[in-house]
Amino acid sequence: MADIDLNAYLARIGYDGPLTPTSETLRSLCWAHVRSVPFELLDGPDGITPAIDPEGVFEKVVRRHQGGACMEVNNLFATLLSRLGYDVTPLAARPWLPQERAYTESADHMVLLVRLDDADWLVDVAYSQLTAVEPIRIDGTVSHERGWDFQVLWEGAEFVASRRGASGRWTPIHRFTLEPRGEQHFDTIVDLYLNPARDSPIPRTLMCSRVTAEGKVLLVNDLFIEAVNGVEHSSRIETPEACRRAVDRVLVGHPQLAERAVRIWQRLIGDRLLTATPGAGTTAHNREEIRQ
């Protein structure tokens, strides 16, 4: 089991409640985590290959007060849960791509399976898109949270996690099996996305998000998305001032990350807007569908 400072980890996420492995403790830990640790993919655009082992992620998230992607943060959270006595297994999911109306070919999103109270629960504290903060039973039970419904159903040969907002329509989030996937699998995903020899959009993409009381805020390059009480709103970020406002909303409490995000936006987006023809700031650039 990974050698991490449990007290320092709990202090980082601001949790001082009970530690007995119960469903209520698990819910509280999930909420504490998402409120304190943002999702961010800033290493890729900065040419950094992050460590995904628990000790390496602990150094980044806890010691250096940063965030991380799913295979970093969910892996670290799995270590915390295991240390507290939970039965937890990392799984790999294939995210839904709305624009392509298809799932990714690679199972590149880490989620966690927690077996508790004679039931299987889906846990995910690190995803760019809107997902449930609280654990979801993997048995078709509908859970309600912040104006959204969430559900996991068995479809064909895989489980599918979905959400439903004010429109009343169920939208897929991702699909997965219960086959355990460890660091070796996700090391392959890191290489797929961050190896300079591969043509991945990740090094050319600014992405960060944070859970809010009403839903989630997400910045992807020049697109700002806010999910509030069952409805999503989006707007374009076309000036450094607008970027600063968006970044400050997403990375609140993380000033060093906010400065990095602004610099990355200027390099990837802002400099191009300066040389674009009039009105070009509203056109698409770097809009590859991001998978996690």
Positions marked catalytic: 70, 109, 124
Query: In angstroms, what is the C-alpha Rg of the chain?
Result: 18
DSSP character at residue 55: H
First to last CA, the chain: 27
Closest Cα partner for 132 from 93, 84, 164?
Answer: 164
Place of tokens 């990837």: 268
Contact present, 147 and 230 (Cβ < 8 Å): yes
In 43-103, beta strands by DSSP E? 87-97, 102-103
Closest CA to 194 of 52, 67, 49: 49
Burial of 223 (0-12, 13-18, 19+ CB in 10 A): middle
> Cα–Cα distance between 9 and 73 in angstroms, integer?
12
Distance CA 168, CA 150 (A): 12
Contact (CB, 8 A) for 164 and 149: yes
- Provide the b/e sequence for 182-197 (b: ≥16 CB within 10 Å): ebebbeebbeebbeee
Two structure tokens written together for 23 = 């469903």
